[in-house]
């Protein structure tokens, strides 16, 4: 997997996790939907400035777009044991809350 492939997979993963459309991401990044689509299809690669804008829009650190790890809603230094159903419910509520916050930006 190339750096570009990894970036694209993470971008799509975080965007879908946050339930943000390409159009909304483009708005949050002050870009065009077509440009975001070209990035996700591998036709173009964003500048460092655009990578930072994408990361801010997704509410993540820029380096997360290049990590070769599964995308999750992990919270560092927090060790709480939850049943799978509890974890799923919490993830759904957090995703819904994040979507509302991002929609109001």
Quote the crossing angle between the two packed helices 33-40 and 3-17, to the nearest 10°: 130
CATH of the domain at 99: 1.10.260.40
Q: Which residues, including other chains, have CB under 8 Å from residue 77's CB and lie 6 or more apart?
A: none
Q: What domain range includes position 56?
A: 3-103
Where on the phi/psi map is residue 84: left (φ > 0), alpha (ψ -120 to 50), or beta? alpha
Alpha-carbon gap, residue 22 to 16, rounded angstroms: 9
CB atoms within 10 A of CB 33: 14
> What's the pLDDT tens digit per position in 23-63?
999 999 999 999 999 999 999 999 999 999 999 999 999 99
Domain count, the chain: 1
pTM value > 0.75: no
């Amino acid at each position: 997997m190339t750096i570009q492939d990894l970036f694209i997979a993470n971008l799509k993963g975080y965007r879908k996790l946050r339930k943000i459309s390409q159009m909304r991401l483009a708005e949050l990044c002050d870009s065009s939907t077509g440009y975001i689509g070209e990035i996700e299809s591998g036709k173009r690669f964003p500048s460092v400035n655009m990578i930072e804008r994408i990361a801010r829009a997704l509410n993540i650190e820029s380096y997360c777009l290049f990590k070769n790890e599964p995308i999750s809603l992990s919270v560092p230094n927090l060790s709480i044991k939850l049943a799978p159903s509890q974890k799923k419910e919490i993830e759904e509520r957090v995703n819904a809350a994040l979507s509302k916050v991002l929609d109001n930006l």
